[in-house]
Chain A
Amino acid sequence: MPIDILMPALSPTMEEGTLSKWLKNEGDTVAAGDVIAEIETDKATMEVEAVDEGTIGKIVVAAGTENVKVNALIAVLLEEGESASDIGSGKAAEPAQATAEPEAPAASEPEKAAPVPAAPVANEALSDPAIPEGTEMVPTTVREALRDAMAEEMRANEDVFLMGEEVAEYQGAYKISQGLLQEFGARRVVDTPITEHGFTGIAVGAAMAGLRPIVEFMTFNFAMQAIDQIINSAAKTLYMSGGQMGAPIVFRGANGAAARVGAQHSQCYAAWYSHIPGLKVVMPYTAADAKGLLKAAIRDPNPVIFLENEIMYGHTFDVPKMDDFVLPIGKARIHKKGKDVTIVSFGIGMSYAIKAVEELSGMGIDVELIDLRTIRPMDLPTVIESVKKTGRLVTVEEGYPQSSVGTEIATRVQQQAFDYLDAPIITIAGKDVPMPYAANLEKLALPNVAEIVDAVKAVTYTA
C-alpha cells in the first residue's frame, strides 16, 4: 500500500509551514534517511528525511506552497511493485489546503466546539493614542516587531547590545534576533555559553558601568538560574547606592507555556517579577505593543523584565509605520470599550479574553476589555475607572492562581472601588498544578474561553 508522507511538526508550537523545496522528483527512488524536502517553520528551515524506502509516486504539495498545515498530505511514496495507479488506495489522499486565513490566536483548540459568536469583534486594538491618525499600518509578526525594536534602538545608541544563548550565529533560538549579527557584528550581538547565572551577572555589571544590555533568555524558565542577579543586583542597586548607580538593562524572552513542553518549561513569571520594587515588568500582547514597549524598555534607565510568549511570536498584527514608535511603560490599553463588565488581561491571556468577548457579545453582554500591557508599575487608574463604570471585574492570566496578578488587582480594586462593585471579582488563572505534558491535561491546566464566559455570566448574574 502506498505510504503517505505528511507535513511534519518540527517545533512544539508549529501549526503550519512553507514547503520551500523538493529535493526529490516524482519517480525518484529514496532510501530511509534521504533528505527529500526542505520546510520552513516559524523558526528555521529544516530538512525532511524519508522514513521509509521506495519511489516518490506523487508530489501532492508543490514547492513554494505556504501555510501547509501540520499532518497534511504532501507526497506519496510507492513501495516495491506498486505504481502510481495504486495512489488513492491509501487512507489519507486529500491534498493539503493552503490557507490564507489570519492565524487564530494560540491555544484555540479546546474552544473549537464553542458556539459561534453572532457578532464577531475585530481582533484588533482600539486605536492607540500614541499612534497619530492616518498612520499607515503594516501587518507584522510579534517576532518581527521585537527584532525591529532592537535593531532600531541599536542603530540609535551604540551602548545597546544583545547578549544571550544562540542570539548571534544561530539567529535566535526563536529567530527573534534574525539578521542582527549581520547588521551589528559580534561585538554587539553576543553569543553566550549556556550559563544564565554568569552571563546575567556580567550583563548587570556592564549595565552598572553604563552600557545598555538586552539579555535574551531562551525562555524565562532558565532565568531562574539567574534570578539572584536580576533581583539582588539589578533591581536593588539603585536603592542600595542611594541613587548613584543602577542597571539600565532589559531582560527579555519567551515566558509562560508554549505547547506541550512540560512543567519545567511552562511557567508564567509575571507575578514573580511584579513582586519586586526596582523592576518594571512588561508583557505585551500585540505586535505593536511588543515593538513600542520594547523600544521604551531599552531606553528606560531601570531594569525591565520583558515577558514574551513563544506561541505569539508568529502572530501577525498591524504595526504603525512610524520613524520612532515608542509606547509608554505603565499604561494599560482599552482593547475594546464596553459597559456591562470589565475584563483585565495581558500577554497571551488576551487571546482567551478576546474570544470570550466575542462569544459574550453574541449573548448581549458588552464587555470592556483592558490589556494591562505593563504589570509593574500597574496602571490601576484605568482599571478602577472601568470598574466604576461596569461594577464588575474578571481577570485572566496563565500564571498560577495563588498570589497572582489577578489577586493583586482584585485586592486593590476592592480597596479603591469597593462601593462600585456589584459582584465579587473573579480571577481566572492557570490551574494550581505543575504543567502536565499530556495534551488533554495541558489544555485543562490552562485558562479557557468557557471559564471566562462562565465567570462573566456569574458576575453579571446572567443565566
Chain B
Amino acid sequence: MATRKSATAASRKKPAEKSGLNGGITEFDKATELEAYREMLLIRRFEEKAGQLYGMGFIGGFCHLYIGQEAVVVGMQMALKDGDQVITGYRDHGHMLACGMEARGVMAELTGRKDGYSHGKGGSMHMFSKEKNFYGGHGIVGAQVSLGTGLAFANKYRGNDNVSLAYFGDGAANQGQVYESFNMAALWKLPVIYIVENNRYAMGTSTARSSAQSNFSLRGNSFGIPGHQVDGMDVRAVHAAAVEAVAHCRSGKGPIILEMLTYRYRGHSMSDPAKYRSKDEVQKMRSESDPIEQVKARILELKHASEDDLKAIDKKVREVVADSADFAQNNPEPDASELYTDILL
C-alpha cells in the first residue's frame, strides 16, 4: 500500500508508465482479461448505439457518452463485493452496465420508455438501481460526492464493511461540496473511495484552464486523505489500484482518492462540436492508449483467445446491444398516469 507521500507532483509520470498505487501492474489471468474485454466492449458498443439512437431522435435531452473511459469503471467494479455501492454524475451509462444493470433497462430509460430503470422519468442522467446498489446518475455536478460520502456514513453507522465508490470528473473536483465532504469523510473515517475521472476537459474547459492544482490526487492533502494517480486507460492498473483502495477503506482507514487519468473520445455531450481540442489529440489517444485495444492486444499476444474467439465475443456483445436498442425503441412510453406517481411515498 502506498503512503500519502506517493501523491506528490513529482510522482506524476507519463500515463503509459503508471499503474496501481505503486506503479506496479498485476497481470490478469486469462479469464480476467476476457471478462475485462467483454465488459469494456459492452460499454463501448452500447454507447455507440446510444449515440446513434440520439442522432435518430429516439434519445432526447442531454446524452453524455463514456467512450474512451471504459477501463475505469470496469477495473474498479472488478474489485468490489456484494453490498458495495456506486454513485456517479451524469456520464453514467458505463457505470450502470458495469454494476450489472440490464442493457435493456438502461437503453429504455434513455429513450424515455416505461420499462426503463426509472420508468422513463429519469433519463440519461438520472438512473438508479437499488438492486444493484447503484445510487445514480446525478445531474448536478459534484452533488454525488456528498451523497456518496453519505452512503459511506450509512455503512459506518451500520457497522458493516461495505465501501462506497463516488465517481466524479475533473470539473466536479473544483466544487466546494467536494472538499466539505473530504473533510467530514476524513474526520469520521468514512469508507469511501473518491474516484476522479480526469478526462482532461470539464465540458470544454481543460484542466489547465480550470484547475490551479491539476494533479487531483493531491486534492485531499489538507485533509490527510491519501491520493494516487492511476493510468485510467489500463484496466489492470485501475484494478490493482482498486483492490488496494478497497482494502484501505474496508480496514477502517477512512477515505482514499484515486485520480484516473483517462480520456473521452466523444464530445462532452452529443451536442458538443469539441472545438476546444484537436482531432490529432483525440486520434493519438485512440490509437496509442485505447483501453479495449490494449486488452485485445494482450489477449492475442498471450494466445488467451484467437481473433475468431474475440469476434464471437464481439458478436454476442452486439447482440445484447441490438436487443436493448430494439427493446428501447419498441417499449411503450410511460402511461400518462405515471406523471403523478413516485412523488411522495
Chain A residues closer than 8 Å to B183, beta-carbon distance: 193, 195, 198
The stretch that binds A, out of B57-65, B67-75, B336-344, is B336-344
User: Is B130 an interface position by the 8 A CB rule?
Assistant: yes
Chain B residues closer than 8 Å to A204, beta-carbon distance: 146-147, 150
Complex CA gap A357/B120 in Å reads: 51
* Contacts A193-B187, A205-B154, A206-B153; A229 near B143 (Cβ below 8 A): yes
B180 touches A197 (CB 8 A): yes
User: Is B151 an interface position by the 8 A CB rule?
Assistant: yes
Interface-centre pick from A200, A240, A302 (highest chain B CB count, 10 A): A240
Count residues of chain A with CB under 8 A from any CB of chain B: 40
B150 touches A208 (CB 8 A): yes
Interface string of A235-274 (1 = CB under 8 A from B): 0111111111110000000000000000000000000000
A193 touches B344 (CB 8 A): no
Chain A residues closer than 8 Å to B136, beta-carbon distance: 237, 240-241
Chain B residues closer than 8 Å to A244, beta-carbon distance: 117-118, 128-130
Interface string of A186-226 (1 = CB under 8 A from B): 01000011010111111111111111000000000000000
CB-CB contacts below 8 Å: B282-336 with A: none
A211 touches B344 (CB 8 A): no
Smallest CB separation, A80 vs chain B (Å) = 53
A238 touches B149 (CB 8 A): no
Complex CA gap A193/B184 in Å reads: 8
User: Is B345 an interface position by the 8 A CB rule?
Assistant: yes
User: Is B126 an interface position by the 8 A CB rule?
Assistant: yes
Chain B residues closer than 8 Å to A241, beta-carbon distance: 117-118, 122, 126-128, 130, 136, 342
Residue among A200, A240, A246 making CB contact with B122, cutoff 8 Å: A240
User: Is B49 an interface position by the 8 A CB rule?
Assistant: no
B118 touches A240 (CB 8 A): yes
Chain A residues closer than 8 Å to B151, beta-carbon distance: 205-206, 208-209
Interface-centre pick from A193, A207, A209 (highest chain B CB count, 10 A): A209
Chain A residues closer than 8 Å to B341, beta-carbon distance: 243
Count residues of chain B with CB under 8 A from any CB of chain A: 47
Interface string of B143-186 (1 = CB under 8 A from A): 10111111111110110000000000000000011011101100
Interface string of B109-140 (1 = CB under 8 A from A): 00000001111111000111110000111111
Chain B residues closer than 8 Å to A460, beta-carbon distance: none
* Contacts A205-B148, A205-B149, A302-B344; A198 near B122 (Cβ below 8 A): no
Interface string of A156-175 (1 = CB under 8 A from B): 00000100000000000000
B153 touches A205 (CB 8 A): yes
B121 touches A239 (CB 8 A): yes
Smallest CB separation, B301 vs chain A (Å) = 43
Interface-centre pick from A201, A202, A245, A278 (highest chain B CB count, 10 A): A202
B181 touches A201 (CB 8 A): yes
Complex CA gap A278/B345 in Å reads: 9
Residue among B146, B180, B187 making CB contact with A205, cutoff 8 Å: B146
User: Is A120 an interface position by the 8 A CB rule?
Assistant: no
Chain A residues closer than 8 Å to B176, beta-carbon distance: 197
User: Is A333 an interface position by the 8 A CB rule?
Assistant: no
Closest residue of chain B to A278 (Cβ to Cβ) is: B343
Closest residue of chain B to A163 (Cβ to Cβ) is: B153
Interface string of A276-314 (1 = CB under 8 A from B): 011010000000000000000000011000000000000
A202 touches B344 (CB 8 A): no
User: Is B199 an interface position by the 8 A CB rule?
Assistant: no
Which 7 A-B pairs rank lowest in CB-CB distance, beginning with the nearest?
A205-B150, A201-B146, A198-B180, A209-B154, A205-B147, A242-B119, A242-B118
28 pairs from A and B in contact (CB 8 Å cutoff):
A197-B176, A198-B149, A200-B146, A201-B181, A202-B146, A202-B147, A202-B150, A202-B153, A205-B135, A205-B148, A206-B154, A209-B85, A209-B135, A209-B150, A209-B151, A229-B143, A229-B147, A233-B140, A238-B342, A239-B342, A240-B118, A240-B122, A241-B117, A242-B116, A242-B117, A242-B119, A242-B122, A242-B342
B residues touching A (Cβ–Cβ < 8 Å)? 85, 87, 116-122, 126-130, 135-140, 143, 145-155, 157-158, 176-177, 179-181, 183-184, 187, 341-345
A residues touching B (Cβ–Cβ < 8 Å)? 161, 187, 192-193, 195, 197-211, 228-229, 232-233, 236-246, 277-278, 280, 301-302
